[in-house]
Amino acid sequence: MTASPKPLLDQVATPQDLRKLSPSQLPQLADELRRETIEAVSVTGGHLGAGLGVVELTVALHYVFDTPRDRIIWDVGHQTYPHKILTGRRDRIRTLRQGGGLSGFTKRGESEYDAFGAGHSSTSISAGLGMAIARDLSGGENHVIAVIGDSAMSAGMAYEALNNAGALDSRLIVILNDNDMSIAPPTGALSAYLARLVSGSAYRSMRVAAREIASRLPRVFYDKARKAEEFSRSFLTGGTMFEELGFYYVGPIDGHNLDHLLPVLINLRDKDEGPVLVHVITKKGKGYKPAEDSDDRYHGVNKFDVATGAQVKPKANAPSYTGVFARSLVAEAERDEKIVAITAAMPGGTGLDIFGKAFPERTFDVAIAEQHAVTFAAGLAAEGYKPFCALYSTFLQRGYDQVVHDVAVQHLPVRFAIDRAGLVGADGPTHAGAFDLSYLCCLPGMVVMAPSDEAELVHMVATAVAHDSGPIAFRYPRGEGVGVEMPERGEILEVGKGRIVRQGRDVALLSLGTRLSEALKAAEELERQGISATVADARFAKPIDRDLVRALALSHKALITIEEGSVGGFGAQVAQFLSDEGLLDGTRGAFRFRQMTLPDSYIDHDGYDKMIAKAKLDAASIAALATQALSTQALGRGEPAKVRLA
């Protein structure tokens, strides 16, 4: 009989099983857990480096604390694959990010061990503090532990939570997982010893006693004693900032050394007062050489070969929208020195790494701080520059107040390049760009564009450069274009003007963005059914092309708008115009108007095409709605329904 390659991991179905092991067995378990994580992600793709960096920390937390009674809140969530394996989901780990499978992030509905769902960063301390206060109000005694990375600590929300936690003085443990920008001296045996010492009850008692004695001294001596104690702790550990916010600081400690981690966590588990912050140093991609050697430590990967690390990348048939945006912006910036680019910790994801290589002095990565990014761009625009604020649609949501107050109200010409608009496949509902049309189209003076293909995106970048009268945004999806011929240079589009792509007579399909290709397929299907369809590319969600909409409404039996966004976006703009013009009053007889949007629900992760079909935004669904709108029953030729008034 062949021995199992992971004998200890095979014994651990839940953290209760983990806690039956001896401390001496945990390093081997961590090695097996790391291998299981690598093998699983090689099959599914997903986030790898972050999870590899917290393997030992994950083991230690579940070993020391009584989860799920004790709450662990993982910030962002892409570091939680090892956590999922240890908490009863190992048998499903190879379904990660697949349709019907495990989420790539923490998800409350998936497991009782996922105390809080997280797709965006920097939420863990706020959520943890809320749970800690709820525990206190209920008279509970469980622990609450928030695990947050150094990058996530760059967001203002994290500091708001730290400040509030220090003031409330509730028992909360924050673990700062420092895997990139170390804010303290390198770790080692001395720092581990000091961390264990200062987290212990003896040191805390001595510290309290010393403060009590010092407080009885004259004020001048007390102030000097307090500052000397702070300086000594700062020199040894680097924790003064957190101490000033009201946290008891412990660290830094080696996050890959269980002999260092376990005694510190045990000390903190037994600490019964106030908030504490543990500074843990880890290495992203730890234990897998291809990840350790990669610039991004294999943050996000496709399926890959475990032996070589080589990723399986499908051959691209067309350039990606992200790449087209980046190259177009570089070309425009070569002609206009006022163009600058801003992103929030996503230079690679938004393509601004390409712009940054060409214009490093005109590229600004503000870290995970979308609110700051927007207002920073507003300041640049106020001084005559042409800022392009490149953010994922789902992340721009976090800077919405700044979009309204600091940009739109002041009519400042900030250019918003909105990547990952629409559904995003395996990343699921937390990352879907579903709402940008709705929350931007309602703003007075905002111009909102959506290219139907990659060539149109080139034109929209040029249009944004030329637009100086107020804010302008253009949204584009994840993935590849459709393979059209690319222009040598972008043309400046007339703001608020769409175009007819295919002429018909019965039904008009007015598409915004990349649903155009599906609208054209639907028109072909309708043609086979004897229905003649006009297909138009709106180009602008705001301002809409009023002349085009009026003409389509007056010359067709039905008008259907199509957009890959939530209710309240482009279709709502068209509906308002039709209402204002009296075109929905029924004076024209059989005219019908329909809107196709994303459904009023969150669509779970799956293949993109399957998600689009589920949302009923594919060609078959478009054709079906057109047929229904033109049907005898839909036109209301049957007996009218009787309405009873109260």
Q: What is the pLDDT of residue 310?
A: 83
Q: What is the pLDDT of residue 77?
A: 78
Confirm whether 384 is domain-assigned: yes
81 and 27, same structural domain? Answer: yes
Band (199; pLDDT cuts 50, 70, 90): low
* Domain of residue 464, residue span: 321-475
Give me the mean pLDDT over the 486-503 stretch.
Answer: 97
Beta-carbon-side half-sphere exposure of residue 504 (alpha carbons within 13 Å): 26
pLDDT tens-digit series, residues 300-354: 788 888 888 888 877 777 899 999 999 999 999 999 999 999 999 999 999 999 9
The answer to whether 192 and 254 have CB atoms below 8 angstroms apart is yes
Q: What is the pLDDT of residue 218?
A: 57
Q: Which residues pair with 258 in a beta bridge?
A: none
Is 370 known to sit in a ligand binding site? yes
Residue 255 pLDDT > 90? yes
pLDDT tens-digit series, residues 31-52: 999 999 999 999 888 888 889 9
Band (588; pLDDT cuts 50, 70, 90): low
Is 273 known to sit in a ligand binding site? no
For tokens 């028109």, the residue is 523
Query: Of the residues 475, 490, 511, which one is the last residue of a structural domain?
Result: 475
pLDDT higher at 105 or 355: 355
Is 112 known to sit in a ligand binding site? no
Query: Of the residues 416, 440, 475, which one is the last residue of a structural domain?
Result: 475
Query: Of the residues 427, 442, 475, which one is the last residue of a structural domain?
Result: 475
Confirm whether 228 is domain-assigned: no
| Total count of domains within the chain | 3
For tokens 């220090």, the residue is 166
Confirm whether 613 is domain-assigned: yes
Rounded to whole angstroms, how far apart are CA atoms 425 and 598?
14
The percentage of the chain sitting over the pLDDT mark of 90, rounded to a whole number, equals: 71
Find, among 58, 76, 86, 158, the residue nearest to 117 by Cα: 76
575 and 457, same structural domain? Answer: no
| Cβ-based neighbours of 70, under 8 Å, separated by 6 or more | 142, 143, 144, 145
The answer to whether 569 and 439 have CB atoms below 8 angstroms apart is no
Residue 192 pLDDT > 60? no
Confirm whether 485 is domain-assigned: no
327 and 294, same structural domain? Answer: no
Residue 207 pLDDT > 60? no
Residue 509 pLDDT > 70? yes
Q: Is 370 tagged catalytic?
A: yes
Q: What is the pLDDT of residue 586?
A: 77
Whichever domain contains 537, its CATH number is 3.40.50.920
Q: What is the pLDDT of residue 198?
A: 55
Active-site hit among 89, 135, 284, 286: 284
Rounded to whole angstroms, how far apart are CA atoms 408 and 469?
11
Give me the mean pLDDT over the 295-302 stretch.
Answer: 73
Q: Is 518 tagged catalytic?
A: no
Choice among 197-201, 379-383, 553-557 with the minimum mean pLDDT: 197-201
Active-site hit among 196, 398, 475, 542: 398
Give me the mean pLDDT over the 612-631 stretch.
Answer: 96
Q: Is 269 tagged catalytic?
A: no
- Cβ neighbours around 283 below 10 Å, total: 17
Band (278; pLDDT cuts 50, 70, 90): very high
- Cβ neighbours around 641 below 10 Å, total: 6
Q: What is the pLDDT of residue 200?
A: 65
Confirm whether 488 is domain-assigned: no
Confirm whether 643 is domain-assigned: no
604 and 466, same structural domain? Answer: no
Choice among 114-118, 435-439, 474-478 with the minimum mean pLDDT: 114-118
Q: What is the pLDDT of residue 232?
A: 44
- Cβ neighbours around 268 below 10 Å, total: 21
Find, among 451, 522, 518, the residue nearest to 491 by Cα: 451
Cα of 152 vs its chain's centroid, Å: 12
421 and 569, same structural domain? Answer: no
Q: What's the distance, Cα to Cα, between the start and end of the chain in Å? A: 77
CA distances from 409 to 65, 377, 403 (A): 49, 14, 9
462 and 561, same structural domain? Answer: no
Rounded to whole angstroms, how far apart are CA atoms 125 and 129?
6
Is 256 known to sit in a ligand binding site? no
**Type of residue found at 128:** G
272 and 154, same structural domain? Answer: yes
Choice among 58-67, 221-230, 286-295, 407-416 with the minimum mean pLDDT: 221-230
Both tokens assigned to 139: 């008279």
Confirm whether 60 is domain-assigned: yes
pLDDT tens-digit series, residues 533-580: 999 999 999 999 999 999 999 999 999 999 999 999 999 999 999 999
The answer to whether 124 and 148 have CB atoms below 8 angstroms apart is yes
Band (1; pLDDT cuts 50, 70, 90): low
Residue 401 pLDDT > 70? yes
Q: What is the pLDDT of residue 269?
A: 92
Cα of 115 vs its chain's centroid, Å: 19
Q: What is the pLDDT of residue 226?
A: 52
Identify the H or E element spanning 253: strand 248-254
149 and 17, same structural domain? Answer: yes
Rounded to whole angstroms, how far apart are CA atoms 143 and 129?
11
The answer to whether 512 and 562 have CB atoms below 8 angstroms apart is yes
Find, among 210, 199, 212, the residue nearest to 274 by Cα: 199
What region does 616 belong to: left with phi over 0, alpha with psi -120 to 50, or beta? left
Active-site hit among 36, 56, 370, 518: 370
Apex 272 CA angle, 271 and 275, nearest 5: 80
Beta-carbon-side half-sphere exposure of residue 228 (alpha carbons within 13 Å): 10
440 and 538, same structural domain? Answer: no
Measured in degrees and rounded to the nearest 5, phi and psi for residue 181 equal -100, 85
Residue 183 pLDDT > 60? no
State the average pLDDT for the chain.
Answer: 88
Q: Which residues pair with 147 in a beta bridge?
A: 74, 175
Give me the mean pLDDT over the 183-187 stretch.
Answer: 41
Give me the mean pLDDT over the 96-116 stretch.
Answer: 91
Rounded to whole angstroms, how far apart are CA atoms 378 and 386?
10
377 and 274, same structural domain? Answer: no
328 and 259, same structural domain? Answer: no
Is 179 known to sit in a ligand binding site? yes
Give me the mean pLDDT over the 78-95 stretch.
Answer: 93
For tokens 């138009």, the residue is 536
Band (208; pLDDT cuts 50, 70, 90): low
Confirm whether 206 is domain-assigned: no
Q: Which residues pair with 499 in a beta bridge?
A: 537
Whole-prediction pTM: 0.86
Apex 619 CA angle, 616 and 625, nearest 5: 60
Is 78 known to sit in a ligand binding site? yes
Residue 636 pLDDT > 50? no
Q: What is the pLDDT of residue 450?
A: 98
Residue 29 pLDDT > 70? yes
Output DSSP code: residue 557.
S
Whichever domain contains 149, its CATH number is 3.40.50.970
Choice among 279-283, 356-360, 464-468, 516-520 with the minimum mean pLDDT: 279-283
Is 121 known to sit in a ligand binding site? yes
439 and 357, same structural domain? Answer: yes
